[in-house]
Amino acid sequence: MSEALSERLAKIDAQIDRSARKNGRDPRSIRLVAVSKTQPAAAISGALAAGVRIFGENKVQEAEGKIAEIGRENAEWHLIGHLQSNKARKAVRLFDVIHSLDSGALAERLERICEEEGRAELPVFIQVDLAGETTKDGIGEKDLPALVEFLRGARHLKLAGMMIVPPYFDDPEDARPFFRRLRELRDRFVAGGELSMGMSHDFEVAVEEGATLVRIGTAVFGERFYTKS
Ligand SMILES: *Cc1c(COP(=O)(O)O)cnc(C)c1O
């Protein structure tokens, strides 16, 4: 096991611990999703050996090969990136949890595919776009109630909670209002549900605001390798 990796994980643990206690939360209620996008399968093996259980990937195609190498059952696989409708079937086969449900059309498609594939339950997070950036993924607040309503009636999709990727700010404090607003929406639409929020540079603020899943890439694995694909 790489020394650097275990040191980075210990540091993240300590930071989560501190931020949780600051607000009287039990640090064990917060789980790490190690975001392994662009990282080779060997990096995932190393993290598994260091005790990481949940991995986040943002592209179905890229994840497919790595999941085959590591083994579908040897870790928990979370899709955290935008899901194109033509990749929905593969996603249902490959992933344990989808964080990036961002439209009613996608929800209907996933529900139908679960039925066809004999997938009993698929936990999903609704990705919310609170910045109103049209280039960003996520559903706008005004479209939330209809999607929640659909999910309440769904047999296979289980609404696990809400997810957000706030705009990037140099000062993570500036992301706090987004995390806070997402928590309010969670309380209103998924009482007792989870909050998927917080990345390498802002997860401490996210934990202070109630994150139950933090999605951390570079702080776990180091800088990403981007290769042509
Ligand atoms: C890449 C990514 C992350 C992790 O980002 P880091 O800054 O490397 O921690 C988290 N969430 C989503 C949706 C991502 O695409």
Is 110 contained in some domain?
Answer: yes
Mean pLDDT of 101-130: 98
| Domain span holding position 75 | 2-221
**Given a cut of 60, is residue 228 above it in pLDDT?**
no
Query: Which residue minimizes the CA distance to atom 11 of ligand 1?
Result: 215
Is 182 contained in some domain?
Answer: yes
Ligand 1 pocket member 34 (CB < 6 A): no
The proportion of the chain whose per-residue pLDDT surpasses 70, expressed as a percent, equals 96
The proportion of the chain whose per-residue pLDDT surpasses 90, expressed as a percent, equals 92
Give distance in angstroms: CA of 22 to centre of ligand 1: 24
Ligand 1 pocket member 165 (CB < 6 A): yes
Is 172 contained in some domain?
Answer: yes
Give distance in angstroms: CA of 215 to centre of ligand 1: 6
State how many domains the chain has.
1
Is 70 contained in some domain?
Answer: yes
Give distance in angstroms: CA of 179 to centre of ligand 1: 15
Q: Provide the CATH number for the domain around residue 176.
A: 3.20.20.10
Ligand 1 pocket member 156 (CB < 6 A): no
How many whole angstroms separate alpha carbon 206 and alpha carbon 194? 12
Is 82 contained in some domain?
Answer: yes
Is 210 contained in some domain?
Answer: yes
- 28 is written with which tokens? 């064990």
Ligand 1 pocket member 35 (CB < 6 A): yes
Q: Tell me the one-letter amino acid at 27.
A: P
The per-residue pLDDT for range 196-211, each reduced to its tens digit, is 999 999 999 999 999 9
Ligand 1 pocket member 200 (CB < 6 A): yes
pTM: 0.96
Is 114 contained in some domain?
Answer: yes
Residue 1 is predicted with a pLDDT of: 56
Read off the pLDDT band of 110 (50, 70, 90): very high
**Given a cut of 80, is residue 14 above it in pLDDT?**
yes
Residue 137 is predicted with a pLDDT of: 84
Mean pLDDT of the chain: 95
Give distance in angstroms: CA of 66 to centre of ligand 1: 18
